[in-house]
Amino acid sequence: MSEPHEIDPPERGDPAEESQDPDRVDELLVAAAQQGDQAALGELLQRHDRLIFAVSLRMLGDREVARDLSQACMLRVIENLHQFDGRARFSTWLTRVTMNLCLSHLRKERLRRHASLDAGGSGEEGPSLSAQREQIREPGPAGGVEEEEQFGRLEGAMSRLDAEQRAILILRDVRGLDYKQIAEVLDVAVGTVKSRLFRARTALREEMERSGPDV
């Protein structure tokens, strides 16, 4: 179930638009919103609130933080929608906005933890891996013990990767973006995406091997 956002969207428009190409619907809504149509803006945010929250939760591993960041992302979209020029899909642009906010948040948290350690603090890094697993996991059919353990190892390994490595794995293997779309989200060359993805998958495999036997 997706997390509700606090920006109250208007009722959906013509049901016929549901059968249209999603990217075309986004184009029409963006064009209207850029002209000041608040109903179109609300519809646009409603169409993508699940995407924003899913990316935030996967990156941050904390439901409350992900909810707050999702709200910040929506506000960022409202403030900067006039800058969207249509050269990329709106969903790709939105993913870039969300991912940038997530990476910025994680960098700030890393600096805060380092400062806490320098000052003699505990350097606590937030929820335990088991707590993160419960927060991230989406509802689904009940699985066996082995499936639970495999999921826990995977999420634990993901949480120990660098933020940039986690980001590229989420974009490719969770969100299913192609290399060109990932390049647009991260603002890098396609060749860079391929090399970073290779290194991220290698790092994930190594973390999985450290956490237990192969599955």
Q: What pLDDT is recorded for position 213? A: 58
Q: Identify whether residues 174 and 193 lie together within a single domain.
A: yes
Q: Which pair of structure tokens corresponds to residue 76?
A: 């960022």
Give the model's pLDDT for residue 112. Answer: 77
Tokens of 105: 């948040």
Angle at 54 between CA 166 and CA 113, to 5 degrees: 50
- Closest Cα to residue 151, out of 208, 66, 102, 198? 208
| HSE value, Cβ hemisphere, 13 Å, CA-based, for 180 | 3
Residue 214 belongs to domain spanning: 127-137+144-215
Q: Provide the pLDDT for residue 166.
A: 92
pLDDT value of position 154: 77
Share of the chain above pLDDT 90, in %: 55
Which carries the bigger pLDDT value, residue 62 or residue 115? Answer: 62
Between 211 and 148, the more confident residue is 211
pLDDT for 157: 84
Contact residues for 111 (Cβ-Cβ < 8 A; gap 6+): none
Q: Amino acid letter at 94?
A: L
Q: Are residues 29 and 120 in the same domain?
A: yes
Cα–Cα distance measured from residue 61 to residue 31, given in angstroms and rounded to the nearest whole number? 34
Q: How many domains does the chain contain in total?
A: 2
Q: Are residue 158 and residue 110 in the same domain, yes or no?
A: no
What is the structure's pLDDT at 159?
A: 83
Q: Give residue 174's pLDDT.
A: 84
Same domain, 84 and 106: yes
Maximum distance among all Cα pairs of the chain, rounded to whole angstroms? 61
Same domain, 69 and 148: no
**What pLDDT does residue 148 have?**
60
Rounded to two decimals, what is the model's pTM?
0.71
What is the per-residue pLDDT for 119?
57
Q: What is the pLDDT of residues 21-33, one digit of tens each?
A: 999 999 999 999 9
- Shared domain check, 90 and 157: no
Write out 13-63 in H/E/C secondary structure: CCHHHHHCCHHHHHHHHHHHHHCCCHHHHHHHHHHHHHHHHHHHHHHHCCH
Say yes or no to pLDDT of 127 above 80.
Answer: no
Q: Tokens standing for 35?
A: 């002209």
- State the pLDDT at residue 168: 94
Residues 92 and 132 in one domain: no
pLDDT band at 36 (very low <50, low <70, confident <90, very high): very high
Residue 141 CA: distances (Å) to CA of 102, 154, 161: 29, 18, 28
- CATH number of the structural domain spanning residue 93: 1.10.1740.10
Q: Answer yes or no: do 33 and 86 share one domain.
A: yes
> Does one domain contain both 35 and 107?
yes
Highest mean pLDDT among 87-96, 116-125, 133-142: 87-96
- What token pair was written down for 109? 């948290």
Shared domain for 51 and 119, answered yes or no, is yes
The domain spanning residue 167 has which CATH number?
1.10.10.10
Convert the pLDDT of each residue in 162-173 to its tens digit.
Answer: 999 999 999 998
Pair 14, 80 in one domain: yes
